[in-house]
Amino acid sequence: MTSPTGGTPPALDRELHHPTRLALAAYLSACGEAEFAVLRDYCQISDSTLSKTLSALEKTGYVSIRKGYLGKRPRTWAALTFTGRKALTRHLAALEEIAATARRAADACAQEEQEEQEEHREEHEVPGA
Amino acid sequence: MDSTGEPIDAREARSALAAACAARVAARKAGERGRPRGYGIGQGLTFAVGFIALGLADREPRWGIWLVGVALVSLTGFFVLLWLGAHHGGVTRWFNRGDGRPGWRAWVVPFIPLAIGIAGALLYGTTGWLVAFGVACGGDYILRANRQARTS
């Protein structure tokens, strides 16, 4: 597969392939940082699942975790790193490329079918004329 | 088959894109959620008091130490309120205007307090610059807080 610009096509990122990871990364890409509870409520997953997912993304360097206090309450904040932002951009570009390729193929297929139908119709119309 | 080793078709790609788009919209909305007006008013007042005190410290050497102390406390309060306001609601904003403002306004508005400060500097020197800049910036914070409270 080549990109329309002729360069190397963007590849899907294994670390962002899972829907929860993608949703987390996309959410974090549109904000500076977000609190653990906000992310858990948005993704509708358990604390332990979110904790594991964030740890996995932190290991890859896509997410940075900050622990602190707001008053006396402990809080955990997550933010997408610069590497994570670049990886997400590449991953989304790869997804768009897949969707666009399928759309082009479907359009080409529909056009071929239409041409075939027209040819077929002409063949049937000529003897009667 | 893709580089992740798992097959992905166009339908899955489209739904993943839609999910990512929805997540971004949700994060933006959460970041723009109205913050209590008190944060903006507090930020404006502490900023203005801090700069006015710094300006007066230059003009009134007799009270210099006290005024510098007041300025430090006020400006520390300003930064604390800025941090608390940004983190209110659990999501901090990312760098996007996102409010439909034209581009020129986003650039010109921050220069207005600077221009007022320069005018103050030309008339009254350093004291004029500090006082005018503090009042203009503080006023800007308060006006913005009131506007956001009205629109939300």
**To the nearest whole percent, how much of chain B has pLDDT over 70?**
84
Q: What is the pLDDT of residue A25?
A: 92
Note whether B45 and B113 are same-domain residues.
yes
Structure tokens at B117: 């400060």
Note whether B3 and B44 are same-domain residues.
no
- Nearest alpha carbon to residue B138 among B95, B97, B66, B77: B77
- Nearest alpha carbon to residue A36 among A81, A46, A26: A46
- Nearest alpha carbon to residue B91 among B147, B33, B149: B33
When pLDDT is cut at 50, 70 and 90, the band that residue A2 belongs to is very low
A8 or B19, greater pLDDT? B19
> Mind listing the pLDDT tens digit for each residue in A84-113?
999 999 999 988 888 888 777 777 777 777
The alpha carbon of residue B8 is apart from the nearest alpha carbon of chain A, in Å, by 9
pTM of the full structure: 0.72
Residue A53 lies in a domain: yes
When pLDDT is cut at 50, 70 and 90, the band that residue B1 belongs to is very low
Q: Which helix (H) or strand (E) holds A77?
A: strand A73-80
Q: What is the pLDDT of residue B34?
A: 65
User: Which residue range forms the structural domain that includes residue A42?
Assistant: 14-94
Give me the residues paired with residue A35 across strands. A77
Note whether B25 and B38 are same-domain residues.
no
Note whether B13 and B60 are same-domain residues.
no
User: Which residue range forms the structural domain that includes residue B136?
Assistant: 34-151
Q: What is the mean pLDDT of chain B?
A: 81
> Mind listing the pLDDT tens digit for each residue in B105-134?
667 777 888 888 888 888 888 888 889 989
Q: Which residues contact B105 (CB under 8 A, 6 or more apart)?
A: none
Cβ pairs A/B, distance under 8 A: 104
Residues B126-139 as b or e (16 or more Cβ within 10 Å = b): ebbbbbbbbbbbbb
The total of structural domains in chain B comes to: 2
The alpha carbon of residue A120 is apart from the nearest alpha carbon of chain B, in Å, by 31
Note whether B86 and B100 are same-domain residues.
yes
The total of structural domains in chain A comes to: 1
Note whether B43 and B107 are same-domain residues.
yes
A70 φ, ψ (degrees, to nearest 5): -120, 100
Residue A59 lies in a domain: yes
Residues A101 and A117: their CA atoms lie apart, in Å, by 24
Predicted ipTM of the assembly:
0.75
Residue A51 lies in a domain: yes
Q: What is the pLDDT of residue A6?
A: 47
Note whether B47 and B108 are same-domain residues.
yes
Helix ranges, chain A (H): 19-29, 36-43, 47-59, 82-128
Note whether B4 and B40 are same-domain residues.
no
Contacts of A88 in chain B (CB under 8 A): 20
Contacts of A14 in chain B (CB under 8 A): 3-5
Structure tokens at B93: 């904003």
**Contact by Cβ (8 Å): A32, A63:** no
Residue A67 lies in a domain: yes
Note whether B46 and B114 are same-domain residues.
yes
Note whether B71 and B144 are same-domain residues.
yes
Note whether B54 and B3 are same-domain residues.
no
A1 touches chain B (CB under 8 A): no
Contact A31 B5 (CB under 8 A): no
